[in-house]
Amino acid sequence: MAREGCTGVRQFHLTLAAAMASLLAAAGGPALGQAIPDPALPPEALDPTMDRDDLLRGMVADGATGGQGGERASDGASDDAADGSGAEVLYSAVRAIETEPAGAGAGAAPQPRPREEIAEPDEPVFVRERRREELEPVGLRAGSFLVFPEIETGVQATDNVFAVGTGDKKSDIVYLARPRLRAQSDWGRHELAFAYEGEYGVYDTFTSENPEATRAGVSGRIDLTQATRLSAEAGYAQDQEGRGSVDASDAAAEPTVRRGYTLRGGAEHRISRVTASLRGGIEAVDFENGVDLAGVIIDNSDRDRTERLVGGRLAYELTGTTTVYGDGEYRWRDYDRALDDGGFARDAERATATAGAILRPRAPLRAEISVGLVHEDAADPRLAELDEVALDTALAWAVTPITTLNAAFQTRLDATTVAGASSSVARTVSAGIDHELRRNLVVSSNVSHEWTDYPGAPLQEETTTVSIAGEWWVTRMAALVAGYEHERQTTNDGSGTITENIVSLGMKMRR
């Protein structure tokens, strides 16, 4: 059975969750490190040289994209892992541009003040990036590393466990545990980081749908000089394919388990306002065979693939707040099998050329926009060549110091085994709001609509998602979380409309 291969992962999650819970609840323990912001935020502590510019490497902080939490690992993580990038769990945050306080001359004595006071009146303060010194995690000191453990436990109710049409929907409750662990070096030069995130759940009735997922990764950076850096990362991800996926078999007794492996490296050199970078990597995706209700094996080996990529970027800093760049990438996609179950040769090559701009004006706005041309050619002549325009935008607007509006448009191309389709092209528009009801209570809401086409096949999908979530930090170490999500998916293949409502309630503990 497919589940038997996941027993070790399940036991690992349970053991780690119990250990972290004991650690967080302990009165004593290792010496605490200095109170510094969470690595997911943009602290200067993560940039000792104070000259790192991740914007020039094409990395945008999560807060600028309007992305919200609350998605299930079986669904929300499926898109990332489908292109082999699901193992990327380490993100580089964007460092805000500091400005000298008005009236501070050469003879003025520096006065330590909170970030909000140092910022000039017209500098944006985004809710998700605001420093709250009294609520930020302290972390545990382990030599020259700071370790940030966290565990979230909760209960989640759904009215459509199997993601079916309105005919035979099943409701259930799942009990969840999500351990997380991050370790970050605080060296004066170079950098090494590790991150782990897991999810383990047990349904009250339909235990065949128990969610299991894990992501782990390690990344490092070597600062050859202040202008030249080398970087590398390796990652592993395991999750489950959503029941509503068109590539998954409806006859499977359990969700399909998917594993992803990633290895990437890069080099960056900066001369004055110009930054040039090169990157390369290899990504592999493996789908575990399934079993139907009669015990018959469902072969998923035709979906296993490996992708290799090389790319480069040239960026120019026009001003201190505006950067433009050009980016190129080439990918080779090789499947383990010469032909899939439909008799198609799925190997393909893809070339992408992108031009973009990153804007950080001294107004309550932050934006990034890029336009790319994508050409993909499959080995099978029956699969049409793919020529697409990929538009990606992200906008964040600090309407007030306690309210941020986010908007985004994203184009995503993924591999597929849908008969006759050369690839899948998804375009998503989203808008959201983050509002700080109190300093320790933030409420977020998001709405998105996605159109998915399968060039070469008549299949089309539309998915609308509406969500609202709240996070209340009772203390620095404990928070209550709650959320609601509604998803509606329609497909033109006659399968009808799939709707699902999810309500969640839980608690976070961290150190």
Looking at residue 76, the DSSP 8-state letter turns out to be H
> Degrees (nearest 5) of the Cα angle 343, 241, 289?
55
CB 117 within 8 A of CB 131: no
**How far apart, in Å, are the Cα atoms of 181 and each of 44, 70, 176, 334, 417?**
21, 19, 17, 34, 35
With the C-alpha atoms ordered 59, 63, 67, 71, is the resulting torsion angle positive or negative?
Answer: positive
> Degrees (nearest 5) of the Cα angle 101, 105, 107?
130
232: left (phi over 0), alpha (psi -120 to 50) or beta: beta
Determine the pLDDT at residue 124: 54
Helix (H) or strand (E) holding 428: strand 424-438
- Residue 147 in 3-state DSSP? strand
Structure tokens of 241? 């394919």
C-alpha Rg value of the chain to the nearest Å: 23
pTM (two decimals)? 0.76
Helix (H) or strand (E) holding 11: helix 7-25
Phi–psi pair at 54, nearest 5 degrees: -70, -15
Determine the pLDDT at residue 227: 96
Helix (H) or strand (E) holding 12: helix 7-25
CB 187 within 8 A of CB 220: no
- At 389-440, the pLDDT tens digits run 999 999 999 999 899 999 999 999 999 999 999 999 999 999 999 999 999 9
Domains and CATH numbers, the chain: 2-97+120-510 (2.40.170)
Dist. CA 378–CA 393, nearest whole Å: 28
With the C-alpha atoms ordered 125, 131, 135, 137, is the resulting torsion angle positive or negative?
Answer: positive
CB within 8 Å of 110: residues ≥ 6 apart: none
Determine the pLDDT at residue 311: 98
Which amino acid, one-letter code, is at 243? Answer: R
Residues in the chain: 511
**DSSP-assigned letters across all residues of 377-427:** EESSTTSPPEEEEEEEEEEEEEEETTEEEEEEEEEEEE----TT-S-EEEE
User: b/e per residue, 344-376, with b = 16+ CB within 10 A?
Assistant: bbbbbebebebebebbbeeebebbbebebebeb
Structure tokens of 306? 């490996």
Tokens 């930020």 label which residue? 136
Structure tokens of 109? 């004595």
Structure tokens of 483? 């959320």
Determine the pLDDT at residue 14: 55
Which residues of the chain fall short of a pLDDT of 50? 1-5, 9, 27-122
